[in-house]
């Protein structure tokens, strides 16, 4: 009797679904069988051709798990659920099989009635044609999904990296934020998601805040700084003032009080805020403006006090990024 081959696509990406392919090939040997191999070793054109032949001549099933479900279940349980979904589709077609072979070394049908019929095979997508076929239909289906997703979110380039953590994808995440298709349980999405919930987006952009920042900007300019940006905002952080002097780049947080502030400006910055400032500075240098990556970064806490309609007192404390 027939073999049911199973393989997964999309275990490791930062975005998009997990897809399990399940295939029973036709009983009679087809000439295109010789072309079946691990989907990753085939060109997109060849995968598309074989995908059409497999779907037309074979018994197939696909098990889909969304990014949200992956976050809820964890990747191991998601793989098991997707496998069960794919097998259930095969069973609904009443095509008999005598054995199930899953690519890899984990039996995702363990503790089910099908466990006794199931074995695993490391690199099975290169050794067993049914698993090769399963990997092909799963990859083509997932890639097509990500290509359509690129139309919805063109700035992320999903059609190119199909959700994997490439440099361009990570840069887009830092610049544009997370979509509903991003896996919040996968790094760096997890840290960014947690950071975003802790960081208030409602900074003081009133006349008071603007005047205080202007006072600090003027202070920096008078001390030889070049202002690169003010109120630099992303989905994950905001930096009041970014400036450069010599081979240093400064990230300044501005605090205003009407009366004189006791202690140093750093006393007005909580430990959590310092961590947020460090995250913002590192993210800016890595993903927002790489031309300053060779500058020595310094964080700054600036306190401003006095009457808004009079020259205000400005004091600044510099401190390096933590190691």
- Pull the structure tokens for residue 85: 């979904």
- Rounded to the nearest integer, the mean pLDDT of the chain is 89
Q: For residue range 19-72, list pLDDT tens digits in order.
A: 999 999 998 889 999 999 999 999 999 999 999 999 999 999 999 999 999 999
Q: What is the largest CA-CA distance in the chain?
A: 91
Question: Domain 207-320, CATH 3.40.1350.10 — does that match?
Answer: yes
| pLDDT confidence tier of residue 233, bands split at 50, 70 and 90 | confident
CB 6 within 8 A of CB 21: yes
Q: For residue range 164-175, list pLDDT tens digits in order.
A: 999 999 989 988
CB-based contacts of 183: which residues, under 8 Å, 6+ apart? Answer: 13, 14, 15, 67, 70, 71, 189
CATH architecture of 3-170: 2-Layer Sandwich (3.30)
DSSP assigned state of 73: H
Confidence at residue 201, expressed as pLDDT on a 0 to 100 scale = 45
Confidence at residue 260, expressed as pLDDT on a 0 to 100 scale = 58
Compute the distance between CA of residue 68 and CA of residue 105 in angstroms, rounded to an integer: 26
Compute the distance between CA of residue 236 and CA of residue 148 in angstroms, rounded to an integer: 26
User: Following DSSP, what letter does each residue of 160-208 receive, concatenated?
Assistant: HHTT---HHHHHHHHHH---TTB-TTSTTHHHHHHHHHHS-S----SHH
Residue count (the chain): 323
Q: For residue range 253-296, list pLDDT tens digits in order.
A: 998 876 655 666 667 778 888 888 898 898 888 877 778 878 99
| pLDDT confidence tier of residue 202, bands split at 50, 70 and 90 | very low
Would you kindly state where each structural domain of the chain is located, as residue ranges? 3-170, 207-320
| pLDDT confidence tier of residue 204, bands split at 50, 70 and 90 | very low
This prediction has a pTM of 0.75
- Lowest average pLDDT, out of 115-119, 199-203, 242-246, 276-280, goes to 199-203
DSSP assigned state of 15: B
């Amino acid at each position: 009797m027939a073999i049911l081959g199973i393989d997964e696509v999309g275990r490791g990406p930062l975005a998009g679904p997990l897809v399990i392919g399940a295939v029973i090939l036709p009983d009679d040997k087809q000439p295109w069988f010789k072309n079946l191999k691990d989907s990753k070793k085939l060109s997109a054109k060849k995968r598309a051709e074989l995908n059409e032949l497999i779907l037309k001549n074979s018994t197939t099933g696909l098990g889909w798990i969304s990014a949200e479900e992956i976050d809820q279940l964890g990747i191991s349980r998601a793989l098991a659920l997707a496998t069960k979904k794919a097998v259930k589709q095969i069973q609904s077609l009443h095509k008999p099989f005598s054995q199930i072979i899953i690519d890899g070394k984990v039996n995702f049908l363990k503790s089910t009635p099908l466990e006794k019929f199931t074995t695993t095979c490391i690199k099975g997508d290169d050794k067993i044609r049914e698993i090769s076929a399963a990997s092909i239909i799963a990859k083509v289906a997932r890639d097509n999904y990500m290509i359509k997703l690129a139309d919805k979110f063109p700035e992320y380039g999903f059609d190119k990296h199909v959700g994997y953590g490439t440099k361009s994808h990570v840069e887009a995440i830092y610049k544009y934020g997370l979509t509903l298709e991003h896996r919040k349980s996968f790094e760096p999405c997890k840290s960014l998601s947690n950071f975003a919930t802790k960081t208030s987006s409602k900074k003081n952009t009133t006349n008071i805040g603007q005047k205080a920042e202007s006072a600090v900007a003027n202070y920096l300019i008078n001390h030889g700084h070049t202002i690169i940006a003010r109120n630099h905002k992303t989905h994950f952080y905001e930096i009041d003032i970014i400036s450069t002097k010599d081979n240093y780049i400064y990230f300044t947080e501005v605090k205003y009080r009407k009366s004189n502030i006791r202690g140093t400006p750093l006393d007005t910055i909580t430990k959590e805020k310092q961590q947020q400032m460090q995250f913002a500075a590192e993210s800016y240098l890595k993903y927002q403006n790489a031309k300053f990556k060779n500058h020595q970064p310094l964080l700054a806490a600036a306190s401003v006090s006095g009457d808004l309609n009079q020259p205000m007192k400005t004091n600044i404390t510099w401190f390096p990024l933590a190691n």
